[in-house]
Structure 1
Amino acid sequence: MRAVTRIVAAVAGVVLAAPAVPALAGGQRLDWLACPGVDDPRLRCATVRVPLDHARPGGRTIEIAVSRLPAADPTTRRGVLFTTGGGPGNAGVPEPLNLARTVDPAVLARYDIVGFDMRFIERSTPITCGQPEEEPGGYWIRTATYQSFEDTAREARAYARDCARHAGWALPFATTAQAARDMDVIRAALGERTVSFLGGSYAAMLGAAYSTLFPHRVDRFVLDSPVDYDSAWHRYELARIPAFEDNYAAFTAYVAANHATFGLGATPAAVGETVRLAFARAAVTPIPAGDHAWTAGELGYLAVVATIFEQLWPVVATDLAAIFSGAPPPIPIDPRPAALPGTPGVPADNHTAANLAYRCGDNAWPRDPRTYRQALATLGNRYPVYGPSMANVNPCAYWPVSEDNTVPLRRNRAPAALVLAATHDASVPLDNSVATARAIAGSRLVTVDKRAHVPLLSGQGNACLTGAVTGYLTDGRLPAQDLTC
């Protein structure tokens, strides 16, 4: 169960002149103490203060929580390997322990693994939009199949208004570029001249942003399934709908081929209809299953998990079959994100609030409702499973901050990176990783033929892929050419 939860949580001229690191960065004293919510004594935490707005380094500051897992062999220590959670919206403080279960021991011997909760997430000055609970998956989404466009627009507008009321002070500074600058303050506070990095999905996009802003601080960067920074967010989210639809079709084919086990239908069409009818029922009245009644949004999250992670098809199919029959799921997957028990001060809706803050704040979304109506008319009809939700209007259309805050990848002049991808990744389709690898000159792309997301971090990397990562991080050896593993 812990492994399942870990997998699910893991859902671009000229060189830019990097801004000077504020004077407070290098002079900060880091007191390494026990990490709230983490019971492994090897991991220690400290707090770093960063400017709320890096364009005004003398102004208001906020706190960033940093964790450190020391190098296993100090005699061979190379430096620090940064990591954080994806999403955006997932915690990064526990990630060094997760990474320690993933990478080769030779990597652990040579690096301090340093994690951090990005600004406004969990331990790092968390924000709220004033909601009583998280959205399923920590991702605000509504499906046009179950409610009118007008009702969704009203909900989205109200949510954006609530966010402005509760977190308006933070929203202009909830951007990937600001978070990348936080990373450099952490680097300076640690006393490191350069840093290495290993992150997946959105975290990999953050790594790409850092390498664009601070190319001279980059040592060895591993980017596992990075979102293309140049297409995030609206264009990227529309572009991945076909991959979602394709992977969902593969899931229903698997379930149909195992009808004797799951009993959800003997053909893909029959499975799809069983799921559709159950979702429609749950949209009217949540389906009781044990001590929990499942909403359509929560069931939809389970479908997304299956769409993204091929290795979890048996788990999701088993759970759906149980829920549809009124029984509790045998291998429960919590549909709503939560901080680790014992983590203090995390608002009830923090992960959803942070996810929207970054996705809406990185750049301007279309403000005209007709843009979303047209997308629904086209993509909703062509892709009937995911089109009606992923093309729909959301709070970003009404966000109080609406400007481009991204750093074009074409300006990246960092040393070559190692970029990883699965060929049938629905969450971050392959072309995102290709674009990132091409933008960072000399980079190598390593792919595996899987319907999976973040193949290294989700445990779907084979010996070829994991060997490339180990060789690069320990010896600095990039593959001679792109690899198909």
Structure 2
Amino acid sequence: MVRRVLAGVLVVVGLLSVGAAATAAPVRALSWGTCDGLSDPRLRCATVSVPLDYAKPHGRRIDITLSRLPAADPALRRGVLLMTSGGPGNAGVPLPGQYGQVLDQRVLDRYDLVGFDIRFLERSTPVSCGQPAEEPGGYWVRVHGHGTLAEHANEAKEYARDCVRHAGWALPHATTANVARDMDTIRAALGETRVSYLGGSYAGLVGEVYATLFPHRVDRMVLDSANDADRVWRPFEVERTAAMERTFEAFTAYVAANPAYGLGATPAEVTAALRGLLARAPVTAGGQAFTHGELGYLMLLAEVQEQLWPVAAVNLAAIAAGAAPPVPVPLRPTTSSGAAGVPADNHTAVNMMFRCGDGAWPRQLAAYAHDLDFYGSRYPNYGPANANITPCAFWPATKDTIAPLAGRKPVLLTAALHDAIVPIANARAVQRAMPGSRLVTIDARYHAPFPYAGNVCLNGAVTDYLATGVLPAQDVGCMG
């Protein structure tokens, strides 16, 4: 759950015409079988063959794996509720089994839950950038100050070269627009005229792009903490720095108010203790050497949701004292049970491939130096990471960037008011771009809040919409 819990009319027309190729490409009949590694006996899995390049629908093809949990009441069945996971880089095949445990029965009665791994991830033709292991958290990030900009640029350039060397054939086709086209091929393979969709975080972005490219194929759609498609990825990543800084300050105030952690009696003392811990990396504690990236990921848990503050605090305090973290947290992505032949760095590779491939990134070192000066001086805790250079500065250019978001179908948006990972401004921008959509907010520090445990307001609004198709008459504000 932690990981679940990242240009004009001519361009739009061009992408819509390429998008339409998804339905024109050959679609082969699905053959359903058991889902290796998934415990729910009701689940069945299949593979869909899709074009690597939708501009060449009869060329090379790749496999996309999906799972299906049938609607509980065939008499009430409306259709398919398609879903994938966030990241990009988190598995979507296990989702129907997971959502089957938490969604309201009215939803389970009406929909087949169908989850899929996005192209190049885990069960869906997995690729590698040739690295021996995943990065902490499953994403490539380096913090300015823990190394120089020139050093990080050299490391980023080498990573990009490795990706070209090991997966150059896939890089031009690792785009969110192609994931949306894959969704439409899945829809056709399932024999559905339209599909409903539930997606959080990056998966919400996938839904936005699908609704832009295939508005006539959308039935009901819920986008949870969705990125603003018009700002991904570089603008989005630097612009969220302020929200992340505010959450860090709230986290340090929480730790300071709980002296048992032993990290300081004031927010300033806690901040100094955490910075000191990072500066000492690698830090040996409980027989394990924790790298700078691993410590940074433990701190990032506090950004995901307020409920994880005790976990982050107790683990960081233990490491600072030289002891093993008392609450085990996976620091790197692990492959879903039953997925075979997945490269050691697959999740990180996929995360970078899509973030770098979706839009243009600055190429000049001076641009990153400027951003580091601007954001680093204003937001000293997260600016040096968010504004720093990444392999995207050296990535091969792609023409398949995200089309400007076009609102042809009203949807239901959900978001937390104090989400630091995808700040609330993103949901509001999506709502403006998709007229008639409704926004349900919850007053909490929480990323991708649906379903929010015990919150009848938020959960009920989503359930009512999926069950009836009727959007709320106006935006809804829920208490945390």
Q: The TM-score by the shorter chain falls in which range?
A: over 0.9
Q: For residues 434-453 of structure 1, what are the structure 2 equivalents within 5 Å?
A: 434-453=428-447
Supply the AA of the counterpart residue of 2:324. P
Partner of 1:21: 22
Aligned match of 2:402: 406
**TM superposition shift of 1:23:** 5.0
37-46 or 172-181: which moved more? 37-46
For 2:293, the equivalent position in structure 1 comes to 297
Structure 1 distance, partners of 2:302, 2:370, is: 28
**Paired residue for 1:466, among 453, 459, 472?**
459
Where does 1:145-294 land on structure 2 (aligned, <5 Å)? 145-259=145-259, 261-282=260-281, 286-294=282-290
Rounded Cα–Cα distance in structure 2 between residues aligned with 1:103 and 1:25: 34
Q: 1:211 corresponds to which letter in structure 2?
A: A
Alignment of 1:49-60 (within 5 A): 49-60=49-60
Q: 1:398 to 1:20 in 2, by over 3 A?
A: closer
- In structure 1, runs of 5+ residues without a counterpart are 1-5
Q: Which amino acid aligns with 1:438?
A: R
Following the alignment from structure 1 to structure 2, what is the Cα–Cα distance between the partners of residues 449 and 219? 28
**2:63 equivalent to 1:63:** yes
Q: Deviations over 1:366-398 (max 9, x none)?
A: 111100000001111111101011100010000
TM-aligned CA deviation for residue 306 of structure 1: 0.5
CA offsets, 1:307-359, max 9 Å, x none?
12111111111111112222221211111011123320110000110001000
1:10 deviates by 3.1
Structure 1 residue 20: Cα displacement: 3.4
Quote the RMSD (CA, aligned, Å).
1.5
Which consecutive unaligned segments of at least 5 residues does structure 2 have? none
Distance in 2 separating the partners of 1:404 and 1:190: 26
Q: CA separation in 2, counterparts of 1:64 and 1:379?
A: 39
The amino acid of 2:4's aligned partner reads: A
Q: Equivalent of 2:315, from 316, 319, 324?
A: 319
Instruction: Find the residue that maps to 2:120 and give its secondary structure.
Output: coil
Match of 1:447, SS state, is: strand
How far apart are residue 98 of structure 1 and its match? 1.9
For 2:412 and 2:34, how far apart are their aligned partners in 1?
Answer: 33
Residue 416 of structure 1: which of 401, 410, 414 is its match?
410
- Residues 50-89 of structure 1: CA deviation (Å, up to 9, x unaligned): 0001111011000000110111111111100001010011
Q: Which of 1, 10, 28 is the equivalent residue of 2:5?
A: 10
Tell me the distance in 1 between the aligned counterparts of 2:435 and 2:368: 36
Give secondary structure in 2 for the equivalent of 1:96: helix
Query: Which residue number corresponds to residue 3 of structure 1?
Result: none
- CA shift at 1:22, angstroms? 4.8
- Normalized against structure 1, the TM-score is what? 0.95
State percent identity of aligned pairs. 58
What SS does the corresponding residue of 1:8 show, helix, strand or coil?
coil
Q: Distance in 2 between matches of 1:476 and 1:192?
A: 17
Deviation at 1:33, TM superposition (A): 1.5
SS of residue in 2 equivalent to 1:19:
helix
CA distance in 2, matches of 1:340, 1:46: 16
Pairwise CA distance, 1:263: 1.3
Q: CA deviation at 1:402?
A: 4.7
- Residue of structure 2 in register with 1:104 after alignment: 104
Is the contact between residue 121 and residue 350 of structure 2 (CA under 8 Å) also seen in structure 1? yes
2:435 maps to amino acid: A
Alpha carbons 1:10, 1:85 under 8 Å: kept = no
Q: CA deviation at 1:24?
A: 5.3
Please give the per-residue CA displacement for 1:213-254, whole angstroms capped at 9, x wherever unaligned.
001100000000100000000001010000000000000000
Give 1:132 deviation, angstroms.
0.3
Letter in 1 for 2:343: P
Give the TM-score normalised by structure 2: 0.96
Shift of 1:289: 2.5
Amino acid at match of 1:247: T
Contact 1:110 1:474 in 2 (8 A): yes
In the alignment, which residue of structure 1 is the partner of 2:94? Answer: 94
